[in-house]
Amino acid sequence: MTPPPGPAGAPGVRAARVEDLAAVQAIYAEQVRTSTSTFDVLPPSLEDWAGKLAATLRPHHFLVAIDDDGVQGYAYSSAYRPRPAYAATRETSIHLAPRARGRGLGRLLYDELLARLRADGAHVVLAVVALPNPASRALHLACGFTSAGVLREVGHKLDTWVDTEFFQLLLD
Ligand SMILES: CC(C)(COP(=O)(O)OP(=O)(O)OC[C@H]1O[C@@H](n2cnc3c(N)ncnc32)[C@H](O)[C@@H]1OP(=O)(O)O)[C@@H](O)C(=O)NCCC(=O)NCCS
């Protein structure tokens, strides 16, 4: 695992803890209210996040990126679909606080998350990116994902029809 922040304050990644969830809730709530990056329209409560953390025990993972100022972002994996033949496929989600974007934290989180999924024997990782989102597209492509196609106007949020693009990574 990437070491947690050292004395110099370098950011690090570790498994999320209950005490991280207030920051996680605030980071996601900002996106729910202001962005089409998520199709949620009501911010989940702290209790909702506690439930998600409890559900992301192995074979799933919930990671946070932290620096001297606290939790700057998170990424987690979850089941893609419940039917048994999808068991080796995971879906990932990632969000950073606005101040934390564009300085490598997304990559740090994903490198750790993908390493854990690979170690678990997961076979395929999927991510759904609502368009436009150049930072998320760039992150997924940089991590080796390839585009698996665009679904046109499947979301409607902030008075706009929104396309989604599927990204896929084969781990082995
Ligand atoms: C999408 C997000 C997770 C990316 O994380 P990040 O820390 O900003 O990205 P990084 O700094 O790690 O950069 C990763 C790659 O994306 C590129 N990138 C980052 N921001 C970019 C931007 N705005 N436009 C184009 N490319 C960008 C980087 O150059 C890097 O590519 P490289 O390795 O080829 O140089 C982050 O910006 C974010 O949380 N955005 C808001 C929420 C969101 O959209 N979540 C994703 C939902 S699918």
In the reported structure, the alpha carbon of residue 140 is separated from the centroid of ligand 1 by a whole-number distance in angstroms of 8
29 in a domain, yes or no? yes
67 in a domain, yes or no? yes
Task: Check if the beta carbon of residue 137 is closer than 8 Å to that of residue 104.
Answer: no
CATH number at residue 22: 3.40.630.30
69 in a domain, yes or no? yes
pLDDT in tens, 78-126: 999 999 999 999 999 999 999 999 999 999 999 999 999 999 999 999 9
For ligand 1, is residue 162 a contact (CB within 6 Å)?
A: no
- The tokens describing 82, both together, are 């419940």
Total domains, the chain: 1
Mean pLDDT for the chain overall: 94
Residue 4: predicted pLDDT: 58
Omega into 132 within 30° of 0, i.e. cis? yes
pLDDT in tens, 121-148: 999 999 999 999 999 999 999 999 999 9
In the chain, what percentage of residues exceed pLDDT 90? 90
For residue 113, the 8-state DSSP code is H
106 in a domain, yes or no? yes
22 in a domain, yes or no? yes
96 in a domain, yes or no? yes
The more confidently predicted of residues 172 and 13 is 13
Per the structure, the complete domain to which residue 90 belongs is given by 12-123
Using alpha carbons, list the distances in angstroms from residue 27 to 30, 83, 136, 147, 168: 6, 31, 16, 26, 25
Among 63, 109, 139, which residue has the most ligand 1 atoms within 8 Å of its CB, making it the best to mutate?
139
161 in a domain, yes or no? no
